């Protein structure tokens, strides 16, 4: 497409949860549905961007015109993102990447035996922070799901990961994960705006307008 707000731009979006293997039949994961990431990918594509959607395991149809890359674990997501990063103008890290993975995933199913089983977890790479740390990297949009002190925690995340923009939402008590609608507080270095409760598809369309406005200032 040669029309639209993001015409001629390449956008990489991550979405959904990751699964971290404990053994061949078990994993650690989270409640992310992928809805927000898929809505974002669809919105960017509708505005003319070439979109690569790197998705963890979700039950979602691929939006029209979007190139989808399916992954399972955080390490696979990290690799897929960096494979597709060259030439990227905007990176939107919407995935709920598992912060930790079992350090020593078992090749055989773990048998129940002792009363206590210890699992050692090791830290996964922070994909968003790594992309944000690149020289001449893309404009970076991150998400922050917080259960409290939304603005304060989100601004800390903006600085700590040195991303260009954070979209923050409150989670817990029927909010956020796996819900149709949401509200976002969007922050950047010298400003912020609130996007009121609405469907994730509609939120995504409003959010990419804010991205476009701030992107020109980068």
User: Which segments are annotated as binding site for CTP?
Assistant: 93-95, 99, 109, 125-128, 143, 157, 161
Other Cβ atoms closer than 10 A to 112: 6
Minimal distance in Å, beta carbon 136 to ligand C5P?
19
Which stretches within the chain are classed as H helix? Answer: 35-46, 74-84, 127-132, 150-160, 200-215
Give the separation between CA 149 and CA 67, rounded to whole angstroms.
Answer: 36
Which element (helix H / strand E) includes 33?
none
Return d(Cα 195, Cα 160) in angstroms, integer: 23
Q: Which residues pair with 185 in a beta bridge?
A: 168, 194
For 170, residues 6+ apart whose C-beta sits below 8 A from its C-beta are 145, 146, 147, 150, 176, 183
Smallest distance, ligand C5P to C-beta of residue 192, A:
17
Pick between residue 21 and residue 110 the one whose CB is nearest to ligand C5P: 21
Q: List the structure tokens of 12.
A: 């990489």
- Could you tell me which residues are annotated as the binding site? 93-95, 99, 109, 125-128, 143, 157, 161
Minimum distance from CB of 35 to ligand C5P (Å)? 14
- Work out how close the CB of 105 gets to ligand C5P at its nearest, in angstroms, rounded to a whole number: 17
Residue labelled with tokens 């796996």: 178
SS3 label, residue 187 = strand
Q: 14 vs 33, which CB is nearer to ligand C5P?
A: 14
Q: Spot the catalytic one: 2, 30, 59, 169.
A: 30
Residue number with CB closer to ligand C5P (66 or 154): 154
- Interacting residues with ligand C5P (CB under 6 A): 14, 74, 93-95, 97, 99, 124, 126-128, 142-144, 157
What value does the CA radius of gyration of the chain take, rounded to a whole number of Å? 18
Q: Based on the residue annotation, tell me whether 30 is a catalytic residue of this protein.
A: yes
Q: Pick the closer one to ligand C5P by CB: 14 or 182.
A: 14
Q: Which residues are catalytic?
A: 30
């Amino acid at each position: 497409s040669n029309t639209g707000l993001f015409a001629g731009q390449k956008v990489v979006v991550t979405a959904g949860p990751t699964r971290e293997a404990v053994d061949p039949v078990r994993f650690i994961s989270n409640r992310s549905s992928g809805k927000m990431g898929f809505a974002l990918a669809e919105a960017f594509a509708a505005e003319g961007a070439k979109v690569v959607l790197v998705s963890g395991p979700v039950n979602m149809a691929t939006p029209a015109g979007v190139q989808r890359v399916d992954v399972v674990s955080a390490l696979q997501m990290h690799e897929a993102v960096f494979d597709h990063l060259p030439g990227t103008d905007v990176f939107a890290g919407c995935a709920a990447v598992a912060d930790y993975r079992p350090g020593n995933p078992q090749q055989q199913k773990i048998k129940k035996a002792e009363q206590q089983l210890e699992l050692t977890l090791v830290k996964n790479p922070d994909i968003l922070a790594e992309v944000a740390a690149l020289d001449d990297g893309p404009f970076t949009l991150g998400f922050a799901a917080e259960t409290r002190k939304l603005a304060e925690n989100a601004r800390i995340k903006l600085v700590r990961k040195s991303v260009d923009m954070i979209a923050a939402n409150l989670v817990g008590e029927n909010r956020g994960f796996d819900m149709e609608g949401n509200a976002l507080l969007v922050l950047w270095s010298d400003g912020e705006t609130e996007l009121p409760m609405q469907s994730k598809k509609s939120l995504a369309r409003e959010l990419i307008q804010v991205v476009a406005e701030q992107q020109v200032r980068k």
